[in-house]
Structure 1
Amino acid sequence: MKSIFVFSLFAILVCSQKNADAQNTVDTLIDAGGYRLHFHIIRGAGVPILFESGGGNDGTVWNQLLNPIAGITGATLITYDRAGFGKSEIDTNKHGILNGIKGLEIALKKLGYEGNIMLAAHSLGGFYATLYASRNPEKVKAAVLFDAAHMCFYNDKRVKATQAIIDRQVKSKKDPGNYYISMDFLNTIEVMRKAPFPLNIPVLDIVSDKTPFSDSTDIRDWKRCHQDFGESNPNRKGMIAYGTGHYIFEDNPALAVEAIVNEYALLVNDEERNRLFKRAFEYSFKAENDEKKADIAYYHSEEDINSWGYQLLRRGEKQKALEVFKLNTMLHPESFKVYYSEAYAYAQLGDEENAIKNYKHSLELNPQNSAAAEYIRQHETKK
């Protein structure tokens, strides 16, 4: 379940990182060679962790993980907006994945983080992490990949199919970040074919249970590619994040935090590792308890009962669905959504009188409910 954690989690974190104290947090624009990249940094000690976002995302996509990871590891955490995304600028004369990594390296050096580093990456960010690691194999000490892009997925047929989709869909430069990433796709593939992930770097590769694809061949090849990557070297481990979609770290943030912490533990001494695992256990215990609490709140909630009713409708059990929606209006009489659902069930049963009655009540509770207003207009006109 998404977004189940509350700020009370942070009470268990070490005092030096409590609530990401402003004096330990930096937001800055750094010249990366003719354009500026935006960085958000939580200062700490030890090996820094650099986060690579997926295509279409800026650095804020990692926000819900940062405080827990900072509190448990005490490490410096670095997120940034790729060129053309978020608050970062773009040099349209120097785009492409290779220029992107070169700009990142320039900026990290200026920030003082040109030494050892750990990587965490999602989706297209897997290519960026791979290229950074291939250019800096002695500096990258570990990596955690979340449903990341790997070259073993992109055979010639799939590359052509992807390029055809891009040619049909990508027309405008109004969104320069996405435009240039899309238009650079073939160049990205060519660069990545020459930049395998270094075998000396420990990697935890996590693939989603529910892949970002609908085609059965794509699903099979995506999972097989990740399995092959994880089994190709003793330094690599693979796992499936069950019950999660493409954004694994949003669907199961506790899993993501624990994955990063476990890999980071490889980089510290025994004494610090023991302290780190103690803090990780406290976090996991609290996170699991909060998740159970959220689940209890969800079951028999307005949303849960409504979902039950619509499941019955999809199975053709219209009268049963109506009774469920009636229960929801009794339990949640202040919600315009439950009256809308009851009205919809009446409409499915052909009872226009009661459908209009409930649509009107839904509209009274929410005058912006245009779908209810449209149904009323069409069916009252018929009379």
Structure 2
Amino acid sequence: MKLYFLAFLCCAIQLLPQRAHSQALDTLVDVGGYRLHFNIVRGKGLPILLEAGGGDDARVWQQLLKPLAAATGATLISYDRPGFGKSENSKEPDDAQHGIMSGIQGLETGLKKLGYSKDLLLVAHSYGGFYSTLYASRHPEAVKAVVLVDAMLACYATDEFLASMMRDMQADIAKNKVENRGRYYQTSNYAATVKVMRKVSFPASIPVIDLVAEAPFSPKPEEAARWRTCHKEFTAASPNRESITAYGCGHYIFLDNPALVVSAIAKAYGNTRGQQKNADLLKRSLAYSLESNNELKKRETEYRHSESDLNTWGYTLMRQGETQKALEIFKLNTVMHPQSGNAFDSLAEAYLHAGNKELAKINYKKSVELDPKNNNAVEVLKTL
């Protein structure tokens, strides 16, 4: 299917809600005229606050909670930002009042009411990088460490990027004003959010582990290069910041390689504790890593040359400018999976990328024939 330029902001990952721990607390907290939803897995020691990406809510972390609790034994806090998941929207009538500053103040109020307003370790994915950066700047003494998971940094969002993004998002903004108020406020205030974040400095005193995906969310080479450069400059700015490339991973590193993310969080968590306390943490973390790496190898064996694997391979070649090679892979995918509307949609997109509109039309029509719910193909066909 089409790789959306703003996938990090717009695509919500729907996961089945499960209780990760017998002591989980699922609650709504009044933070001043509206209620935020929090999910808390109670543990001991330094609490870990998980910030989801744009378009996502607390459910996106669900698969990570059990192994992370087992590896660290810490209290895990995830929550839904206003208008997402089970959280309510702020009642402020002015759109500007729904920006990141209002959001962070609501989070602070909720954490204080729950008794977690002191020391924290922050973990942030994608758009959540803005929230963790702002929170750390407001509470530099309380934030003991941060783990960034392919997180958004202000240096990436240039004026040109913002102008292009806001143009592309107009239809989505208009649609979400009616259908999804949380996403509407997030997207319509995005430029204002970036302006706020450009004035915010990440405290140099806070240690950071910065995980960066090998396959960036943007298929455009210049965008991907700027993403990597931005993160490289961020980690180079302070000696207590460490950069790790998540090889073989896309934007959702914690889904592609959960062992890497859990290990990074466990390492950051261990560095906040005394050496004697780290022995037990190291034992739990190693046990999880062994089991997880074995499971990862099993998944790789099952995944190799599957429809999804070939599709990913094709898009990787397209990002590298190897359009003809990508076409051959996408063609192979349609031969091996002739009933897949997704395979024909990808082949059509590759033909369109190569400038062959006629073959793009033929394959988009085939995709819609196999999958009538493929609205992307229907919309593209209208333009052709």
Which residue, 91, 102, 117 being the options, matches 2:105? 102
Which residue, 291, 308, 318 being the options, matches 1:286? 291
What residue number does 1:89 align with?
Answer: 88
* Cα distance between partner residues in 2 of 1:321 and 1:124: 33
* Cα distance between partner residues in 2 of 1:160 and 1:147: 22
User: Structure 1 residue 260 and structure 2 residue 259: aligned?
Assistant: no
User: Structure 1 residue 40 and structure 2 residue 39: aligned?
Assistant: yes
Structure of higher CA gyration radius = 1
What residue number does 2:71 align with?
Answer: 72
How many residue pairs match? The answer is 313
* 1:1-383 mapped onto 2 (5 Å cutoff): 20-22=20-22, 24-93=23-92, 94-172=97-175, 173=177, 174-298=179-303, 314-315=327-328, 371=370
One-letter identity of the residue aligned with 2:142? K
* Structure 1: gaps (5+ residues): 1-18, 326-336, 345-368, 374-383
Q: 1:53 to 1:21 in 2, by over 3 A?
A: closer
2:169 alignment partner, SS class: helix
One-letter identity of the residue aligned with 1:184? N
1:301 Cα offset (Å): 7.3
* Cα distance between partner residues in 1 of 2:198 and 2:312: 45
Q: 1:35 to 1:214 in 2, by over 3 A?
A: same
One-letter identity of the residue aligned with 1:164? R
Residue pair 1:306, 1:338 contacting (<8 A) in 2 also: no
1:250 alignment partner, SS class: helix
1:162 Cα offset (Å): 2.0
Residue pair 2:310, 2:329 contacting (<8 A) in 1 also: no
1:321-344 CA distance string (max 9 Å, x none): 99x85xxxxxxxxxxx67889xx9
1:199 alignment partner, SS class: coil
Q: 1:211 to 1:295 in 2, by over 3 A?
A: closer
One-letter identity of the residue aligned with 2:144? K
* Cα distance between partner residues in 2 of 1:317 and 1:118: 43
Q: 1:222 to 1:314 in 2, by over 3 A?
A: closer
* Cα distance between partner residues in 1 of 2:73 and 2:172: 43
One-letter identity of the residue aligned with 2:160? K
1:159 Cα offset (Å): 2.1
* Structure 2: gaps (5+ residues): 1-18, 314-323, 345-367, 373-384
- Give the TM-score normalised by the residue count of structure 2: 0.74
2:194 alignment partner, SS class: helix
Q: 1:130 to 1:269 in 2, by over 3 A?
A: same
1:154-202 CA distance string (max 9 Å, x none): 2222222222222343203120111000111122112112211111100
Q: 1:284 to 1:63 in 2, by over 3 A?
A: same
1:220 alignment partner, SS class: helix
Identity among equivalent pairs (%): 46
1:256 Cα offset (Å): 0.7
Residue pair 2:34, 2:91 contacting (<8 A) in 1 also: no
One-letter identity of the residue aligned with 1:242? Y
1:224 Cα offset (Å): 0.3
* Cα distance between partner residues in 2 of 1:92 and 1:246: 33
Q: CA RMSD in A?
A: 3.0
1:206 Cα offset (Å): 1.1
* Cα distance between partner residues in 1 of 2:257 and 2:310: 23
One-letter identity of the residue aligned with 1:201? I
Residue pair 1:43, 1:77 contacting (<8 A) in 2 also: yes
* Cα distance between partner residues in 1 of 2:44 and 2:329: 59
